[in-house]
Amino acid sequence: MPSASELADLDVTLTARYDFAKCVALAAAERGMAYYARRRSLIVEHKGGDMQDVVSIADQDVETFIRGELAAHFPEDGIVGEEGGSGGLQARCIWVIDPIDGTACFLNGLHNWCVSIGLLVDGEPLLGAIADPNHDELFHGFIGHGAFVNDTPLKAHDAVHVREGLVGVGTTHRAGKEHFLPFLSGLLDEGGMFVRNGSGALMTAYVAAGRLIGYYETHLKSWDCLAGLVLVREAGGRQNDFLRGDGLLGGNPYLVAAPGVYAQLAALVGPSLDAE
C-alpha cells in the first residue's frame, strides 16, 4: 500500500483518473448498448474451444474504444484488458478493464452485463467504475473517498449468518469448478440461498451495495473484479487475497462478502480459497 504522503502526491492525478474512469465507462456502456440492440446480427465466436466462453465484435470494439481513450489521456499508464492483453506493467498506474462483463448474457438478450474499469496503483486497487446501462446504474468508488451507485453511498449488508440473505455464485469450465457443488451444498445446508446472474463485476457491485451478502466464484480473472474490489472495500465488505501470486494476469478463486458472513462463507469454500 502506498504511504499517505505518496498518495497525497498522487491525489490530483488520481482524481482526474477517477473522473475519467466514470466518463469512459458510461461512454463505453453506451457503445455496448448500440451493439446490444442488434445482438442477433453479431457473429459469435468461442474462446479456447469452450462453447460457453463467447465473444463478439462488441467486446473487441468496446475495448478498442477504451484503449484509445486511455492512450489519449494517460499514455504512460499500463493496461490489462480481457480482449487485448497486457502492456506497460512496469508503470505505477495500471488499468484493468473488461469491456463487457457478462458477455453470455449480452449475446442471449439478458440484461446482466456491464463495463468494468479499475485502476491499480503500486499493485493496490484504488479506484473503479462499473457501468450498467440497462439499469442506468454507475457504480464507482475511490479508496478513501467512498463508493456509490450513481450518487447514493454503498454499504455492505449487516447480515451475521448466511440464512439472512442471497449469495452470488459463479463458475466456468476452467480449473476449480470441482469446488462449486460442494460450496452450494454447504450453503444450502446452512439455510443459505444462491443466485448466478452471469456478471462477476455486477455481483461484486451488489455485495458492495448490500443487495447480496456475498459472492463466490471458483476462479475469476482480474478484469472481472478489479473495479469491484474497490467498491467492496469502501462499502465495508471483506475480500480474499485475490491478487496474490499471478492473480493479476492469471486469476484466482474469489470471495467478497459482508463483514458478518465472510468467515462463514470462507469456511464453506474451504482451503482452495487461498491455496497457492
Instruction: Kindly list the residues in this chain that would bind Ca ion in the complex (CB under 5 A).
Output: 82, 98, 100-101, 224
Q: Which of 117, 220, 231, 248 binds ligand IPD (CB under 6 A)?
A: 220
| Residue 199 interacts with ligand IPD (CB under 6 A): yes or no | yes
- In the complex, what is the shortest distance from the CB of residue 103 to ligand IPD, in angstroms, rounded to a whole number? 4
Give 19-52 as a DSSP string: HHHHHHHHHHHHHHHHHHHTGGGSPPEESTT-TT
- In the complex, what is the shortest distance from the CB of residue 221 to ligand IPD, in angstroms, rounded to a whole number? 6
* Amino acid letter for position 130: I
- Burial of residue 163 (number of CB atoms within 10 Å: 0-12, 13-18, 19+): middle
| Residue 101 interacts with ligand IPD (CB under 6 A): yes or no | yes
Residue numbers 153-182 binding ligand IPD by CB under 6 A = 170, 172
> Phi and psi at residue 119, in whole multiples of 5°?
-130, 130
d(CA 117, CA 220): 16
- In the complex, what is the shortest distance from the CB of residue 227 to ligand IPD, in angstroms, rounded to a whole number? 12
Q: Which of 198, 228, 247, 253 binds ligand IPD (CB under 6 A)?
A: 198
Segment near ligand IPD (CB under 6 A); pick from 2-10, 89-97, 102-110, 242-250: 102-110
Residue 263, C-beta contacts closer than 8 angstroms, at least 6 positions apart = none
Q: Which of 77, 83, 132, 224 binds ligand IPD (CB under 6 A)?
A: 224
- Burial of residue 258 (number of CB atoms within 10 Å: 0-12, 13-18, 19+): buried
| Residue 200 interacts with ligand IPD (CB under 6 A): yes or no | yes
- Are 243 and 206 a contacting pair, CB within 8 Å? no
Q: Give contact residues for ligand IPD (rule: CB under 6 A).
A: 82, 98, 101-104, 170, 172, 198-200, 217, 220, 224
